[in-house]
Each structure stands twice: as C-alpha cells, then as structure tokens.
A and B are shown apart, each in its own frame.
Chain A
Amino acid sequence: MANSRSKEHKCPNCGGFLVYIPEEGVLKCEHCDSKIKVEEYANASKEDDLYAGGSDEAEGSKVEGFDFSALKDAVTDENAENLPVYECRSCAAQLIAPPTAATISCPYCGNHIVLTDQVSGKLRPDGMIPFRYSPDKIASAVQKFYKGKKLLPKGFFSSAKIGDVTGVYLPFWVFDGSLSGQMTYKGDKVSHSREGNYDITTTTHYMLYRDVSGRFQELPVDAGRNADDALMDSLEPFDLREAKPFDMGYLAGYTAERFDEPKKSMTQRAKGRMRKTLASAALKKAGAGFTGVRPEGGSLKADITAKYMLFPVYMFNIKDGSQSYPFAFNGQTGKVVGKLPIDPTVSRNYFLIRFGIIFGVLFGWSLLKYFCGC
C-alpha cells in the first residue's frame, strides 16, 4: 500500500524537478533554471503542506543516551513484506526503497524522492553538512591524488576511468563527552652507581595509580553498515562549524542513507578510540619521574552524548580494466581517499633502480677517491 511518507522537490514556477547546487547553496530547476534558497523553499513547502511527517514530527528527535531500542525493527528488518511502499507523486509509480535509504530516484520518471519517514521523528538527523563541492570537481581532485603515487601500475593514469559518481549523505554519529576513572601503569626508576670495577644498575619497579579524565568533542563515527569504516575514517575531518540544521532541501538531487549500525558496535568504537587516546595522552603525565612507563589497565567511565548527523560524500569507483577500486570524496573538504593498486613489478623495479643508482654513486665515489689518492 502506497503512503505519503515521501517528498518531491518541484519547481514552484513550472513544476520541474529541483536539484541542490552545492557551490551556490540553492535549489535549481532543471527545467526553467529558476533558483530558490533552501530555506525559502522549505517555508513554501510548509504552506502547501506537500508532505507528511512535517516539522512537528521532527521536533524532539534528538537521540540521547543511545536509545535506539525504538528503532530496532526499522533498522534491521529487511523482509520485503514489511518494507514500506512509496508512491512517486510525479508518475504515481509504486516504489519499494531499501530499508536504509532516505532518498530514491523514480526509475520511471527520474523524480528525486525523499523518504520522509526515514528522516523524520526519531530518525530525523540533528544536523547535516551540505555539499560544498559538485561532482565535476572530482576528476581534478583525483588527478591531484594520483600525483606522487610511484607504485601505480604502468598506464594507470591514462587507462583508469572514474565510474559512476554518487553524491550521498552518509549517516554519522558525532559523540561529545568525557571519560574519567583510574588508570594503572607500570613504571621503573633506574639508578646507576659504581663499586670498584663494576657498574651497578638498580631498577625499581612500581605500579602507578592515577586518576585520569579528559573531554572529547565532535568525534564522528560512521553509522552506516554499507560504507567501509577505513574509507570513512580516512575522510575525516569534517568541519562541524559548517553544520546546518537538517533540511530536506539539501537532499534534493542526492542520495541519502540513515544509520543502521547497531548501537553496541558504535558505542564500543567511540569509547575505544577515546580510551586509547586518553590512556596514551595521560601516559607522559602519569609517568613523570619514571622511565619505561607502560599502561597496565584500569577502568574509564564514559559520560557521552551523541548527535545524529549526515555528512556529504561522493562515492565512486575507479576502473582499470576489469579491476575496480572504491573511492570516496569528502563533499565538504574535497579530500580524496581510496585504495590504489600497487603493481609488484613496478614496486620491485622502483627498488632496484634506486638501489643500483645509489650503489653506483657510492662505488664510483670510492673509485674516484682511490685514483685521486684521497
């Protein structure tokens, strides 16, 4: 059964499709080229009451204390029978969206549809960072990224092609809070003395107990299962000073996803990163006056809150023959990350050539010195 849990961005002038233009920060009609600010369009949409699950429902959606219990079914249920059915308002087609998708494109008319039930109520993000870069910047960024990559397969520059680029708002949880507790370290004190012809080294071992606390701010943790954690982590940092309140207008023309990572794994990941950082940062202070200080254990209690945010990322593949390499482009900072191939032959030759040159220079210098009598 179709419902009204979707929103389409149509031009108020001609009814054409609107698309968000990152460089200008406006919605642009693909048909009549008229432009409208995201905020203005949202107000107009309210008056028209074009979509269900409006702003009232979005209020109070801030997630505190990781209370995901109410979202469990929606997150994990992939049974097609239970998946919601959306109706394209443009062509009235009945569409089924993946459980984590927040936007879809109508395969019949190309209409961009925002699945409002995935971004409203308790699923409404606390904020988002809009795209600053349009997809046409990707090619030059990737070319720049290639520079200095000496171990790429021969001809990779010329033959490699950038595949389909998808601009997507990816779900992140951004953690604030503090860790505190008692840490234990093992530390040594070493003293040296001399008795007759003997050097005496005395090492005294101690267990150090220290109360440790520290505060973390805006630690992002990738909340989507689909995205590779290493790829997402490498995209950091995102500048949260540019974050905006969530507005569906920014989603126009882009794909969006909602979080589906289980609560436990996300909190563990955030806490793990915080704990490791705190233990390491506290090591120097805790071990003042000791040598060879190393963490031994302890317990740190976390007091943290999280915000649900959408971050702008372009996902694409670089294809070289039959091989495809996943890449990501930070839609806010322009940073490119991806796993480039290392050609073993190129790598070996790279090593051998340099080895040969260096050895040749050294040996030649020796010979020259010898024959010069130096």
Chain B
Amino acid sequence: MGRAIKSMAQAGLILMLVISCVFPALADENLSNEFYRAVDMTGGLSDAQRNTLDSACLEFAENWKADLSLAVITEERCNESGGIEATAKGYYEDCGFGYGPDKDGFSVIYDPDNDKEYIYPIGKAAELFDEKQLRLISRIAPDYEEEYGTFGPLYMTYRLMNNLLESQYGKQEQQEASEGTKDLAVPKAPETESEMIAKADEIEEEQQAAEEAKASEADTETDTETVPESGGAYEGIAYGHELYERIESCGENADPTRGATDPETEADETRKRVSDYADLLTDEEEEKLEAKLTAIRRECKLDLVFVSDNSSYGKDRSVYAADFYDYNGYGCGGDFNGSCLFICMEEGNRGFWTANTGSMDPKYTQELADKSDDVLYSYVTQKRFFDGVMSWADNMRRIYLYGHPFAYEWLQSDYPKDQRAHDYLAPRVVDDNGMLSEETVKHITTSMEEIAKAYDLDLVIHTAYESYEVDKKTFADRFYESHGYGMGEDYSGILITVFKPYGSSNDVVVTGYGRGEEILTDTAKDRLAWRLEGELDSDSTTKEEAFSKGLSWVKHLLQTGRVPRSGLSWFFSTAFELIVALIIAAIMRSHAKKKMDTPVKAENAEPYLVKGSLNVQYVKDKFLSTNTVRKYNPPSSSSSSSSSSGRSSYSRSYSGSSSRSHSGSGRSF
C-alpha cells in the first residue's frame, strides 16, 4: 500500500518536472528535443538563465556524446517521490533525455535547502568520470549558489564537467556555451582538476571558518542575551528592531520587507516573533504573546509571527504578511513552516491577513480560515487586540495539530454510544484552560472523590477557553461521554464546565447525566452556575476556594435536593418582591381613587365632534433644522458565532515578493 503511494508520488513529481520542461531547444537526431534540460522546481531561474543552461546542456551532449540534465529540487520533495536517485533517473528517463540508443548522460539534482548536489551518470557516461571527480564537482558547484542563485551551481556543474573532459580529452571545437550568457553574470570555473581540488579545499576551509564564527556568535548570544546588530544573516533582525525609527525617518518608504534577510536563509530562532509597530499591545502583552508563540513553535514546529503596522506601504495586506515572513528569517524546518498575522491599522485600509507557509499552507482551507477569522474579527472590532492575537495563535496551533481551529478531537462528533465505556482512572479535573495549579487540582480531586464515593455519583470539572462553535451544553455532553465518565449503567454524574475566553469572565455550565440529571433541576443548574461564576470572577476568592464552595453546594444539593441561595440572592429577590408588591398596591389604590368618580371639569368636546367632519389639508412643511447624533456601537461579539462577521477574503495559493507559496485569509475592519 505504502509502496503504491510512493510510486504515485514519484510519478506525480516526475510528471510535474516533465511539464516544467516543455518547449526545448534544438538538438540532433541522437537527442530528444521535447523538453528543457534545465528546470528549477523552486522557481529560482529566470528565462534567460534557463535558456543558457539548456543550450549548454545540448552543446555538452553534442561534444561529449553524453546528455546532461540539470534540475533544482529539494531533497524533501525527492524523498516524497522515492529518494533523490530514483527521482533523478525517473525524471531523466521520462523526459526522454540521453544520447544515442543507450541514453548516455548525466542527471544532476541540486537541493537548495541543504545546498547539496547529486550527479548520476547513466549508460556509458559513467566511463567519462570516475566517482572522485563527480564528488569533486558536486562539492564545488554549490558554493556558487550564494552569489548566483540556483543558476550558479547548475552552470558551474556544466563548466566543471566540460573543463575536466577538455583537460582529459582535449578541447573540442564547439560553440561557446556562454554565447547565450553574454548578458548574464556567470561564474568562472577552475580549468583543470588540480585547480578544482584547490578550489574544493578553499571552500572547505571557508566553511569551517564560518561554522566556528557562528558557534562563537551563538555563545555570545547565550551569554548576553543580546541580538546581533547587523550584517549577514542578522540583517533582518537589526532591520526589525530599527523599523520604527525607519518609519519615523523615511515615512512611507520604510517598507519592512525591503532589504531584509534573504528568503532562502535558514530560519532564525533568535528572531522576535512579535513586531508591534502599530503599538496595539502593551509591553507586558508583547512579552506574553512572545512566550506563547515560542511555546507553540517549540511544541509543534510551527512558527507563528505577529506584526502590526500603521501602513502596508502600498502593498496588499496579503503581500505584506508574506514578505514580512519571508524576508525576516522566519519559518520552521526546510519548508519554513509557519504563519504570519499582519494587522494593518492604516486609515482606510484597516484589516488583518494571515499568511501561511510550508506544511501549514495546505491545512489552511477556506472553511477553517472563516472560522478562525470570525474569532479574530470579533476581537479586533472591539479593539481587544491582545485577546485576538492570543486566540489566533491558539486557533492556528489547533488547525496545524488537529485540522480545526476549535478542535478537540472528541468535540467533532457525538461519541458512538456502543463504544462508550467507563474510565475510572481518567482525571476528574481537566484544566484545559490552565486556570488551576497542580496543587489545586489535587485538592479538588480529593474532595470530589469523597463526594462521589458518598453519593455514588461521578463528579467532573472541566475548564476550557470556549465551546468552539458548538453550544455549551453539547460541548459538555461530548466531553463527558467521550472521556469515560459516569458511574453505574446509566453513567450517573455531574459535570461542571467552566468556559473562560481570553479577557472575558467565567461562564459556568452544569450538566447532569443519569441519576445526576434527575437530581439537577433547571433551577439547581442555574443557581450553581451563577454562584460559581460569581466566586470564580471574584478577586478575593482563589480558584481553589471557589471550586471548594462549588463542591460544597453540590454536596448540599445531593443531601437536600436544592442548591443553597446566597444572602445576596435572598436580598435581591426580597427587594424585588417588595417593589413588585409596592407597585401593584399603589396601582390598586390609584384605581380605587379613580372609582370614587370625583367630578371633573370637561376640557374637550370630543363626543360632540360630528363624525367625518374633521378635515385636515396640507399647506406646507417648513424646514427648521437638523441635528445628528453619533453613538458608538461596535458589533456585538460572540466567540461561538461563525457567521456574524461574514466570510474572509481567501487565497489558496499566492506568493509575495519572494518565490514562496502561501495560503492566507483576512478581513477589513
């Protein structure tokens, strides 16, 4: 089964490569001319560079009777298709490359992620070079990537192979391959094998020196916790820190993506993920958000980045978000996995956009984008930016891990009744919201176990952020049923669910099951929830105290069949009853007074107006004045609402200024 999938993936990749190679250059009868011999799956080659390489390959084949195909493709993509060698050979064969009946030639794969090159001889071409020479070429060629992009290694491979052959077999009469490159900057290759060996040694020394320097810099960062100032890979960091000053000094020209880190540079772990140029967050909030994003990045290799700005510098918000992410050294792994949220506060262009890259990209469907953006929209329209971004981070994490922004797996559908089973070992206090300390959980659990044992009724407490689009009762039911709670055949128990979204007050839902459902009247549920909410929201009560009180009320309920009312509740209800009685009695006395029929002097003559005689004719309406009242009334928010805010703008696949592909969504507000 796995093999079949692998074969299909390989076929798919090769098909893509083949399609990329359509429209070839000229060739003789020994060469197929259907496809380009140079192709870059990462999109790094310009047309001129591709044509130059294609001509070079054809000339190489003409001169040395061995074909040459040059492909840029990442190792990860190759692995998805059965490995580098399989991909290289499959691609070579499917494109019909090769010289003569044996299809002699070389298939070259350059992996830009790992900066490595692989050369596979096919047919009699293996006789032209020994393995050592091929390793030498693949060792030198990648070094030209930094200066010339992906064109550098490919072109250098051709030149090195050609030079080695010339040094071995003499210079051939040939049309200079670089003719087509007169407008291109091309690297100068070592002419002989000895020069090549010297060059390879030089490269190795440089790499060692660079690694030592990097290790030294890393040590310095660890010791001082400072960020390097500028230059090299850290240019983008310095840029990020100085952006605000740049905006001040350069105005609209302070594009946050210009001049930053090369998009192909490895992601930088030290880079700050929160860039609040629009100053939407306090320093404390920035720190909390930074910590949360770091935790998510370390937990699931998903790089979440937040940027706010007062301008999008003439770019679409989607492009700004993508460029900010691409050019500032973000992303986890070889595919730069992650998402960037951009909140633009530019007057007339207010909105947000989430740009996704790497593995996150395909997971971010339009449906999920709408759901996630609904929540963010509800927060930002209330100017609750911190809560919004925190919620966004949670949603993105859940999309990445569970495929749904509001997901617990158990929440997605009703738990099958036939699979239901008791789980007496499952924790009875589940603190998904993180509002309880371990010690508190321990204490509460002990109290709950005592009550449960005494009354043969399971007690469960669950804290959550929100109910994720399902109503709270359903949320509670699904949680209870899917976690094996309940005692006896009817799974008797009481579940107390506490919802506490960011920045909001506690919302408690009490649900009963089996015998617990019979004991819990609607009033008992409401009163227990209301009292517990009050205790949880109170600053003077700790969470442990609040839950302890809640459990004592549950105990009281089990003993007497009712939840005790608070003194405040008695006071308010009595006051309400007094007021109602006062009003009704006053109305009754007023009615009695009216019935005394005290004579009143008549002020009008309504009974004497002849029916139908009233005539009113329009003369004119004279305008006097106009006054306008503006009342601030933001849209009401609801974390569980999915349709109140409408749908997002969504892009399945787009790219910013770099060649990376992104998916994304956003809204104006």
Contacts and interface: CB of A to CB of B under 8 A. Distances in A.
Interface of A: 145, 148-152, 178, 182, 186-187, 195, 197-219, 228-231, 233-234, 236-237, 270, 272-274, 276-278, 280-282, 285-286, 337-340, 342, 347, 350-352, 354-356, 358-359, 362-363, 366, 369-374
Contacts of B585: 351-352, 354-355, 358
Given A213-B615, A339-B599, 17 more contacts: A149-B597, A200-B629, A202-B629, A206-B621, A209-B621, A210-B618, A216-B610, A219-B608, A272-B603, A273-B604, A280-B604, A342-B596, A347-B593, A351-B588, A354-B584, A359-B578, A363-B577
A216 B607 CA distance: 9
Contacts of A337: 597, 599
B595 interface: yes
A186 to B, nearest CB: 8
B565 interface: yes
Interface of B: 381, 521, 523-524, 560-562, 565, 573-574, 577-578, 580-582, 584-586, 588-589, 592-593, 595-610, 613-635
B619 A211 contact: yes
Given A197-B632, A215-B610, A374-B521, A203 B626 contact: yes
A151 B592 contact: yes
B599 A350 contact: no
Contact of A201 (B616, B621, B631): B631
Given A211-B616, A359-B581, A151 B608 contact: no
A347 B577 contact: no
A369 B523 contact: yes
A197 B381 contact: yes
A372 B523 CA distance: 10
Contacts of A150: 592, 595
A271 to B, nearest CB: 10
Contacts of B582: 355
A206 B614 contact: no
21 contacts: A187-B621, A199-B630, A210-B616, A211-B617, A212-B616, A215-B613, A233-B599, A233-B602, A236-B607, A272-B603, A338-B599, A340-B598, A347-B593, A351-B588, A351-B589, A352-B585, A355-B585, A362-B577, A370-B565, A373-B523, A373-B560
Given A351-B589, A362-B580, A202 B595 contact: no
A215 B614 CA distance: 7
Nearest to A276: B604
Secondary structure dominating the interface of A: mixed
B562 A371 contact: yes
A214 B604 CA distance: 14
Contacts of B595: 148-150
Given A285-B614, A354-B589, A373-B561, A215 B609 contact: yes
Contacts of B565: 370
A44 to B, nearest CB: 39
A148 B597 CA distance: 10
Given A198-B633, A214-B613, A207 B608 contact: no
A149 B589 CA distance: 11
Contact of A281 (B586, B592, B598, B614): B614
B574 A363 contact: yes
A218 B604 contact: no
Contacts of A211: 615-617, 619
Nearest to B560: A373
Contacts of B599: 228, 230-231, 233-234, 337-339
Nearest to A194: B633
B302 to A, nearest CB: 33
Contacts of B630: 195, 198-200
Contacts of B614: 212-214, 278, 281-282, 285
Contacts of B626: 202-205
Contacts of A237: 607
Contacts of B625: 204-205
A372 B601 CA distance: 55
B587 to A, nearest CB: 9
Contact of B588 (A182, A233, A354): A354
Contacts of A370: 562, 565
